[in-house]
Structure 1
Amino acid sequence: MNIGGLSSNWLLQKTIMDTSRLGNSKLSSLSSLTSSSFEQLLEQVLLQTELNQKSSGNLDISSLLMTSLGSVVPQTGAGVSQSVTLTSKTTGSDNLDAHLKGVLQNTGHLFEEAGKKYGIAPALLAAISIHETGNGTSNAARFKYNVAGMMGKNGLRSYSSIEESIFDMARNLRQNYLDKGKLTIAQIGAKYAPIGAANDPTQLNNHWVTGVQRYFDTLTTGGNFA
């Protein structure tokens, strides 16, 4: 069956009814979404469903939808309910610095400054950078000063400094994501690191939403990375 040929309204209603099988936390998070927000999240779910169908040959669309939804929506449901938190400016640079390593060490003030300029939670910027760079240890971060996986015409962009990369990431998130209604980590991830992308042969994008969410939650609670 062709996933793309299914009615989006039917999928929306079907998935909402079936979310009870995912547990109360996910059900309450999904039920609180607006129709437009849910449809943005659904884009990622449908893509994962299509990939699952191709790999398994399974024609049970209902089962595939639930499997995909379970992999896309974080266990706590936090990824679909933090639109306010993502634009908060309450994270302190000292708290960020306590978690930043490698080339990201002592850059908490830069995430604070970029967050203030573009109205984005510094913790979100830091969480994306930590996930994208293995907390400041990737070759892209060390040799190209690219801390956000930002792409150009010739592949990964090169920057003159970590500061330039952080501010460019913040600009991109504000102009191309938050200002366009992508207000949760799950919604951002569906575009920022789409599952099945041609430039992701090792399928690392499968872990983008849960990874960024985990770091964001840790940075905003002051805990330690497990």
Structure 2
Amino acid sequence: MTSPISSNFLLYNTIASMAKAMPELTQSDSNSSSIGSSTSPSTFFAMLMNAMMESIEENNSTASQTGAQVSLPTLTTPLTAPLTNSYNPAISIPPLNTKEVPTAATDTSDLKFKPTQFIKLDNTLEGKLSGTAAHFINAGKKYDLDPNLLSAIAIHETGNGSSRAAQDKNNVAGMMGKNGLRSYASVEDSIFDMARNLRQNYLNQGKDTIAKIGAKYAPVGAANDPTGLNNHWTNGVSNQYSKLT
């Protein structure tokens, strides 16, 4: 079995190669004298190389007698990939209620589903509501509600997609949960939840006009409305609804 190649062996070969490559001085150089020295550069270089090689051989001999091995320095600290930020707090989003809510026979309102001008609605919606016209229409079909009513409420509640609730929580209808405004996984979920709530708890309960819906949806003087915004809910939604129809 062969022993590992010593780093001194590599150094020895390097020095030997340098010595061989040292050009010999010409005869004229060897005959000439240098200032302050009687030894020529080539002779001095050769003496230096010999001294270095003798020192290396002496070190190798000592290491062999003591059983020590000369090894190259090794990297003792393992290389690791940069740490990533694993802190990713989850936002609590309650499950979406997607149950079917049929239209009550007592609902004789004019707020049931009806054809909608898609291009007009799509061009009206902005901010977080941009590109959601199809969701309003599909939610209106599922719960038999006028898509323009759903859109008018969302536009009024969010300032046409600019509110913090819409931006941070995907909440476009002012829907409340146990701890304040609800959070949704998407704006589409918020639209469908609003439609379900309106059909189940408003239209099917005889709240068949925007004014009647507003009296329950955004009651004046409510504890969660300290600035009195609910005073403008009915007129605000009615104005948006008129623009869309």
Q: TM-score range by the shorter chain?
A: 0.5 to 0.7
Say if 2:118 and 2:133, in contact at 8 Å, map to a contact too: yes
Higher mean C-alpha displacement, 91-100 vs 105-114 = 91-100
Q: Offset at 1:92?
A: 2.6
Q: Give 4+ residue runs of structure 1 displaced > 2 Å after superposition.
A: none
Q: Is the 1:148–1:166 contact (alpha carbons within 8 Å) kept by the matching residues of 2? A: yes
Gaps of 5+ in 1: 1-82, 221-226
1:119 Cα shift?
Answer: 0.2
Calculate percent identity across the aligned residue pairs. Answer: 64
The equivalent residue for 1:41 is none
Correspondent of 1:148 among 124, 149, 173: 173
The gaps in structure 2 that reach 5 residues or longer are: 1-107
- In structure 2, the partner of 1:42 is none
TM-score (norm 1): 0.60
Q: Say which of 75, 100, 105 aligns to 2:125.
A: 100
Aligned-pair distance for 1:174? 0.2
- How big is the shift at 1:87? 1.1
Partner of 1:60: none
Residue 91 of structure 1: CA displacement? 1.1
1:90 aligns to 2:115 (yes or no): yes
Aligned: 1:210 with 2:241 = no
Question: Partner of 1:10 in structure 2?
Answer: none
Which of residues 106, 124, 145 in structure 2 aligns to 1:120? 145
- Residues 57-206 of structure 1 mapped to structure 2, 5 A cutoff: 84-206=109-231
Given the two structures, how large is their TM-score scaled by the length of structure 2? 0.55
Q: CA separation in 2, counterparts of 1:148 and 1:84?
A: 21
**CA offset digits 1:64-108 (Å, max 9, x no partner):** xxxxxxxxxxxxxxxxxxx64311322132221111000101110
- The correspondence of residues 13-92 of structure 1 with structure 2, limited to 5 A, is 84-92=109-117
Which protein shows a greater Rg? Answer: 2
User: 1:92–1:112: 8 Å Cα contact kept in structure 2?
Assistant: no
Deviations 1:40-77 (A, max 9, x none): xxxxxxxxxxxxxxxxxxxxxxxxxxxxxxxxxxxxxx
**Count, aligned residues:** 138
AA of the residue aligned to 1:129: A
Q: Which amino acid aligns with 1:189?
A: G
The 8 Å contact of residues 113 and 141 in structure 2, kept in 1 or not, is answered as no
How many angstroms apart in 2 are the aligned matches of 1:93 and 1:168?
21
Letter in 2 for 1:213: S
- Comparing both chains, which one has the higher relative contact order based on Cα–Cα distances under 8 Å and sequence gaps of 6 or more? 1
Output the CA distance in 1 between the equivalents of 2:113 and 2:185: 28
1:129–1:147 CA contact under 8 A, matched in 2: yes
The one-letter code of the counterpart of 2:127 is: G
1:26 alignment partner in structure 2: none
Query: CA 1:84–1:91 in structure 2 vs 1: closer, same or farther (change >3 Å)?
Result: farther
Structure 2 SS opposite 1:86: coil
